[in-house]
Amino acid sequence: MSRSNSELEDWLSGSDLPGQQLAVVEQWVAGFDPDRQVVQLKLGPYKRLFLRPAKFTRRFYHQLFPLTIESWPHRWQIPLFDNFCTLDVELDVRFQATLQYVHRNAERVETINSHIQQLYADVVADIVNRELQHLDDGLWVREGLSQHEKRIALELCEFMTMQQIQAEAKCRMTATFAEFPDVQLGKDSVFVNVLRKTFEFNQEKARELLRQQRIAEQMELQEQHRQREHQQQLLEMQRKLQQQQAEAQMQLLLDQEQQLAAQREIERRLHADQVLHQQQLHEIGFDIESQAQQQLQAKQRLLEAQQIAEQLAHQAHVEDKTILAEIERRQAAQQRWQEAGLDGQDTVSKKPDL
């Protein structure tokens, strides 16, 4: 009986949960220097950075940059276990840049603290989030949050030191339960664990219900997917049928185009033959017309030659008649002279001019 009571107490207290005790962290000492200043020596292209010594005389080529101690607060409010618990995290960080860090970021010496905050803000949030993941085991309900607070502060200081930045951090976590605001960690751990076990049971029921809903949704999605596949198959069949019809129509058009091309070729050849025939007829007609014209021209030339011959014969006949008439006239004149008793010399000397 005592053993069963012990097991029940372990279950109620949460000691049955797996986990390891967190190591006790040591106190971190930052070692700030409130009077730390960086001197920039600049002569022409030559530059040099060094810490301001105790005995320092400032020259015109010196420029001082104080490395102040910066306070950097962070605040988060994180709901846990589906708002069953709200965790308020207050992290206060104080840091101061060292000469080594300034050397690595000399171009930002004037705004070195703002540069550090902008550069490492996400790293700080990651350190806190990693530590908050350890709260899932539930041991913090019984043992409190102090060890987690120290681990966050220590890890943050170690990281800043690795970056050659002196830092110290203080972290404070406060857990509040929405329906039980008076519950205190450590003192009421058994009661809180009962609440947590009840919450986990309800959460398991909710997860099972969600799982069943997801199975139903998956079955519905599978049915929708099957219907979509069926519709896609119908669409694919319709697409193939349309493609076949389009290909058949295209082939019909190609056949018609080939027939039209063959018909045009036949018509072109017939037209070419007709044109050639007409051209040959035209050439034959032209040859006949040319021969007729040549014959007509030959006849005309023959007629003209006959006319010229007749004209020449007529002209020769006229000239013959003229000469005969002249001869007869002279003979008649000579006969008249002879009859008139004139001698031959006088006749000769008085012979009329022709």
pLDDT of 350 above 80 = no
pLDDT of 9 above 90 = no
Helices (H), the chain: 2-13, 99-104, 112-132, 139-143, 146-162, 189-339, 344-349
At residue 101 the predicted structure's pLDDT band, cuts being 50, 70 and 90, is very high
The pLDDT of residue 21: 43
Q: Fill in the DSSP letter of residue 55.
A: S
The pLDDT of residue 194: 52
User: CA-to-CA distance for 302 and 300, rounded, in angstroms?
Assistant: 5
Helix (H, G, I), strand (E, B) or coil at 31: coil
> What pLDDT, in 10s, does the model give residues 268-318?
888 888 888 888 888 888 888 888 888 888 888 888 888 888 888 888 888
- Chain center to CA of 15: 60
> What pLDDT, in 10s, does the model give residues 329-340?
888 888 888 888
User: CA-to-CA distance for 354 and 306, rounded, in angstroms?
Assistant: 34
Which burial class, exposed, middle or buried, applies to 213 when counting CB atoms under 10 A from its CB (0-12, 13-18, 19+)?
Answer: exposed
Q: At what angle do helices 189-339 and 2-13 cross, to 10 degrees?
A: 40
The pLDDT of residue 205: 79
Domain spans in the chain, listed from the N-terminal domain onward: 25-181
User: CA-to-CA distance for 280 and 287, rounded, in angstroms?
Assistant: 10
- Residues forming beta bridges with residue 136, ordered by sequence position: none
pLDDT of 16 above 60 = no
- Residues forming beta bridges with residue 218, ordered by sequence position: none
Rounded to an integer, the average pLDDT of 72-87 is 82
**From 67-71, 77-81, 248-252, the region with the lowest mean pLDDT:** 77-81
pLDDT of 345 above 60 = no
pLDDT of 143 above 90 = no
Which burial class, exposed, middle or buried, applies to 275 when counting CB atoms under 10 A from its CB (0-12, 13-18, 19+)?
Answer: exposed
pLDDT of 186 above 50 = no
